[in-house]
Amino acid sequence: MLSNAAGIVAYLRLASRGWIIPQEHGVIPMEGEPFRWVLAVPVFGAFLLADIVWGCLLLRYRQPKRWLWWLITGGLWVIAIWVDFAHH
């Protein structure tokens, strides 16, 4: 859970390099999309893969009490992606 929190912070920091500054909206013709795809998406992909493996291990060893932490982590990632896309 703590590593996912660090991953969310890293993802948002890297993704923020591609966010549009509200004062420059319409002035600059190109967004920072390339930066986001090159820097932030691999971080998201690595943590997505790790969380899928974590979920599979929870299924295999039948640990239902830990599913709550897995779901909370997924929810935090959804919020992080929402924050990222809200700034584009």
Tell me: the pLDDT tens digits for 11-51? Answer: 999 888 777 776 666 666 565 567 667 888 899 999 999 99
**Distance between CA atoms of 28 and 41, rounded to whole angstroms?**
23
More confident residue, 21 or 4: 4
Q: How many CA atoms lie within 13 A of 8 on its CB side?
A: 18
On whether the pTM is more than 0.95, the answer is no
First to last CA, the chain: 27
Cβ-based neighbours of 38, under 8 Å, separated by 6 or more = none
**Distance between CA atoms of 78 and 47, rounded to whole angstroms?**
13
Question: Dihedral through CA 35, CA 37, CA 43, CA 47, nearest 10?
Answer: 160
